[in-house]
Amino acid sequence: MPKTGPHPDKALTAIGVNRQSKPGWYADGNGLYLVVDKSGAKRWMLRLMVQGRRRDMGLGGISLVSLAEARELALKYRKIARQGGDPIEERRKERLTAPIFSEAAQTVFEENKSTWKNPKHAQQWFNTLQTYAFPHIGSRQVDQIQTSDILKVLSPIWLEKAETARRVRQRMSTVFDWAKTAGFRSGDNPVDGVEKGLPKQNSKDKHHAAMPYQEVPAFVARIRTEQKKGLVARLALEFLILTATRTSEVLKSEWVEVDLDQRLWIIPAERMKAKREHRVPLCDRSIEILKLAEGFRSSGDLIFPGQKIDRPMSNMVFLTMLKRMDVPFTAHGFRSSFRDWAAETTAYPREIAEMALAHTIQNKVEAAYRRSDLLERRRTMMDDWSAYISI
């Protein structure tokens, strides 16, 4: 059922439509709704009775259809329904030829890219479709594509590039959902059920490959001694392991976030996955790494800069380093290594380790009563972790 919105007697306004950002259904009256998706995308939906059955009819996104135009269309299709006709079928007949998949994907991308916080991730959304889907279905009209066509897109990469395949599947599904809402398709989404024709993926592919914690000390010794090049990257990776933080948090870290006297790194909320400030206690080795990093500091703000002093290193830098060292794990997996070490070899409570990883507290009661981030207790734990991996 639609979520509560403005009362039908209080019609929407053009300004209100543009400003509304909370997901939900907002009534304009007489069955016309503004629908705000969780992604932030906005579209018009007409709810009406067609030949004795309640039907939902998409009228397009707000970037293509204004409030006034949506009202005109709603009035037109309600009249058809009252006269016993099928406005959905009527609209299909009067619409222009359905776009090809590549054009539909471009439209979805343009309508949604402003809602994505990371421009690079937004572009990756389109690039994956361009690379893997367009060669198979890019030139096909969206109303002609069937599940068998989707199978041809996913089969070559389903096992070899499991995570990429899942992302391509989800993004194709979004395009076909848009096509149906815009009136270019009817019936089921062709992506639905495609997995029935694909082999079962190994469930371990869904997680970041983590190095067993017992192997981390030897690996840290390797990155300190074996690598002859890439000092900045080596220091950054060790810093990541010591602090149990994420790749982007380390690569985009800035000197203004660090207080060497307080032995503290404060990651601002906007750079955290949970959008909350995270205080990271720094052990002796972390301080030592920062002092080494000061040796190549110039006018830039970044602690571990890339080739250009004002730009961070690529987020693939650690993966490339690990592959070069013939290590079949990911940088993110070191967080799991830390978590396993804490659980299996120490007596630190679970919540201390979870807090060190900046994980969201799922238990609402526990979250409400926990007022402190337990910084000093975490500091002791991170000192112990440093001592363990520096053996």
Instruction: Render each residue's pLDDT in the chain as its tens digit; 391 residues.
Output: 444 444 444 589 988 898 888 999 999 988 999 999 887 888 999 999 888 888 888 888 887 888 998 999 999 999 988 888 888 877 766 655 788 999 999 999 988 877 666 677 778 889 899 999 999 999 999 999 999 999 999 999 888 888 888 889 989 998 998 888 887 888 889 998 888 888 887 654 445 578 999 999 999 999 988 766 788 999 999 999 999 999 999 999 999 999 999 999 999 999 998 888 999 999 999 999 999 998 877 777 899 998 887 788 988 899 888 988 888 899 999 999 999 999 999 999 888 999 999 986 555 544 544 556 789 999 999 999 999 998 7
Contact criterion met (CB below 8 Å) for 182 and 307:
no
Q: How far apart are the first and last CA of the chain?
A: 59
Kindly state the tokens that stand for 9. 């007697």
Q: What is the pLDDT of residue 118?
A: 67
Kindly state the tokens that stand for 54. 């309640």
Kindly state the tokens that stand for 18. 């543009």
Measure the CA–CA gap between 272 and 284, rounded to whole angstroms. 24
Q: What is the pLDDT of residue 203?
A: 54
Measure the CA–CA gap between 239 and 108, rounded to whole angstroms. 39
Measure the CA–CA gap between 314 and 278, rounded to whole angstroms. 23
Enclosing H/E stretch for 163:
helix 162-181
3-state secondary structure of 280: strand
Q: Which of 301, 74, 102, 230 is nearest to 238 (CA)?
A: 230
Residue with tokens 């690598």: 227
Enclosing H/E stretch for 35:
strand 32-36
Q: What is the pLDDT of residue 114?
A: 74
Measure the CA–CA gap between 209 and 12, rounded to whole angstroms. 50
Measure the CA–CA gap between 87 and 99, rounded to whole angstroms. 21
What's this model's pTM, rounded to 2 decimal places? Answer: 0.50
3-state secondary structure of 36: strand
